């Protein structure tokens, strides 16, 4: 069935790709985003320009912490499904600007929960993060693992989202599914992410910083695989658990961590240029390794990611070179 789906953070990286896919499937998408300046707003507008050309897409610029305006959006459009991807992202930025995380990730998410409660939404899907696992030694990370020791404010807000969502599902019967994303990358990605910074610094002849001397492992997950998983989740309303609560959490990862230095070498090879590297100590709030156990979503939804790191990075670099005018038919020239 074609549905009206509200996607918050629609101008964001995952939000754009998901909205585009849902439109391809014939759904009516209401996109909400505040277009903040956390990273290059031109990139957010470039994503929106692509969505604006699509039939059945409506965009509203708004902050999800603005309860009165978000309530009006729910009242007017009556979405069947809500996918809450709007959030203040980034572990390191949470050290510098903690208030932004409380406003967006706590107050904003509470607004979404309240609107779902009062508008009889069929299914709320929300973005959590692999950061909730902290620096635990047990690998791979499973949804049943204890997540009571977040080591950054960003992780703490995502853990809070999961607890808030469970309580609303328990009290008000809202079917809710949380998605713990693992290091998502791909075309039109976030400039604050390491792989994008690596490409930027190679292009500009700047040094790239490798924390913990490059000795980090990440479960890099291609955005196309994330979208496929999210679509499957949207279509699968969770049944009641033993306590009768219709709530579920899934890891969304590749399930095979890669060395950061190997990741850099692939980018160098695709770019055709070597990077100048600076080895640095571990950053506060960072974790040594992320590694998703994806057996639960495979069992429940028959989902398996299939994009290799080489292929995913090649798709990113193709887009990157075009966007920054490094090849023919550039979308944008360097400033």
Q: Give yes or no for residue 335 having a pLDDT over 50.
A: no
Encode pLDDT of 45-58 as tens digits: 999 999 999 999 99
Give CA–CA dist 31/58, Å, rounded: 6
For 128, the 3-state DSSP assignment is strand
Dihedral angle over CA of 34, 36, 39, 44, nearest 10: 30
Which own/partner contact pairs does 22-27 have at CB distance under 8 Å and 24+ positions apart?
Answer: 22/231, 23/51, 23/54, 23/55, 23/56, 23/57, 25/231, 26/2, 26/56, 27/2, 27/3, 27/56
Give CA–CA dist 107/145, Å, rounded: 26
Residue 140: cis peptide before it, omega within 30 degrees of 0: yes
Share of the chain above pLDDT 70, in %: 97
Mean pLDDT score, 106-132: 97
Tell which residue, 254, 257, 256, 258, has the closest CA to residue 303: 254
Query: What does the pLDDT read at residue 311?
Result: 96
Encode pLDDT of 82-117 as tens digits: 999 999 988 778 888 999 999 999 999 999 999 999
- The answer to whether the beta carbons of residues 242 and 170 sit under 8 Å apart is no
Residue 272 confidence class, pLDDT cut points 50, 70, 90: confident
Residue-range domain boundaries for the chain: 4-182+223-253+290-306
Structure tokens at 302: 């028959």
Query: What does the pLDDT read at residue 333?
Result: 38
Q: Give yes or no for residue 334 having a pLDDT over 70.
A: no
Residue 332 confidence class, pLDDT cut points 50, 70, 90: very low
In this structure, of 28-37, 280-289, 308-317, the range with the lowest mean pLDDT score is 280-289
Q: Which amino acids are annotated catalytic?
A: 154
Q: Give yes or no for residue 285 having a pLDDT over 80.
A: no
Encode pLDDT of 61-76 as tens digits: 999 999 999 999 999 9
Query: What does the pLDDT read at residue 327?
Result: 63
Encode pLDDT of 212-259 as tens digits: 888 888 999 999 999 999 999 999 999 999 999 999 999 999 999 998
- The answer to whether the beta carbons of residues 218 and 149 sit under 8 Å apart is no
Class at the top of the CATH hierarchy for domain 4-182+223-253+290-306: alpha beta
CA 110 to chain centre: 19
Tell which residue, 316, 261, 289, 277, has the closest CA to residue 183: 289
Encode pLDDT of 287-303 as tens digits: 788 899 999 999 999 99
The H or E element containing residue 33 is: strand 28-33
Q: Give yes or no for residue 24 having a pLDDT over 60.
A: yes
pTM as predicted: 0.92
Structure tokens at 8: 């918050």
- Cβ-Cβ contacts under 8 Å for 184 (sequence gap 6 or more): 13, 14, 221, 222, 223, 226
- The answer to whether the beta carbons of residues 15 and 221 sit under 8 Å apart is no
**N-to-C CA span, the chain:** 45
Residue 126 confidence class, pLDDT cut points 50, 70, 90: very high
Encode pLDDT of 188-216 as tens digits: 999 988 889 999 998 888 998 888 888 88
Structure tokens at 55: 């039939």
Encode pLDDT of 150-186 as tens digits: 989 999 999 999 999 999 999 999 999 999 999 999 9
Residue 331 confidence class, pLDDT cut points 50, 70, 90: very low
């Amino acid at each position: 069935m074609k549905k009206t789906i509200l996607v918050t953070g629609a101008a964001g990286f995952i939000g754009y790709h998901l909205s585009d896919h849902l439109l391809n499937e014939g759904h009516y998408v209401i996109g909400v985003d505040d277009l903040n300046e956390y990273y290059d707003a031109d990139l957010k507008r470039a994503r929106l320009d692509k969505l604006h050309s699509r039939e059945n897409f409506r965009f509203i610029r708004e902050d999800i912490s603005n309860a009165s305006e978000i309530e009006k959006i729910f009242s007017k459009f009556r979405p069947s499904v809500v996918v809450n991807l709007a959030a203040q992202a980034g572990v390191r930025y949470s050290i510098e600007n903690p208030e932004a995380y409380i406003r967006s990730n706590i107050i904003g998410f509470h607004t979404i929960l309240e609107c779902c409660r009062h508008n009889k939404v069929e299914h709320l899907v929300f973005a959590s993060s692999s950061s909730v696992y902290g620096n635990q030694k047990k690998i791979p990370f499973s949804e049943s693992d204890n997540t009571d020791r977040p080591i950054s404010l960003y992780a703490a807000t995502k853990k809070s989202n999961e607890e808030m969502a469970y309580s609303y599902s328990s009290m008000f019967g809202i079917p809710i599914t949380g998605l713990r994303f693992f290091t998502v990358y791909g075309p039109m990605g976030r400039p604050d992410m390491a792989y994008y910074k690596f490409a930027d610094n190679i292009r500009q002849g700047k040094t790239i910083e490798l924390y913990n001397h490059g000795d980090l492992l990440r479960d890099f997950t291609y955005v196309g695989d994330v979208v496929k998983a999210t679509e499957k989740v949207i279509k699968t309303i969770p049944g009641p658990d033993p306590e009768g609560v219709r709530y579920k959490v899934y890891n969304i990862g590749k399930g095979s961590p890669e060395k950061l230095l190997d990741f850099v070498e692939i980018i160098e090879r695709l770019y055709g240029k070597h990077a100048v590297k600076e080895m640095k100590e571990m950053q506060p709030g960072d974790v040594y390794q992320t590694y998703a156990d994806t057996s639960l979503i495979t069992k429940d939804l028959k989902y398996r990611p299939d994009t290799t790191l080489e292929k995913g990075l090649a798709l990113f670099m193709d887009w990157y070179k075009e966007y920054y005018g490094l090849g023919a038919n550039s979308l944008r020239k360097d400033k």
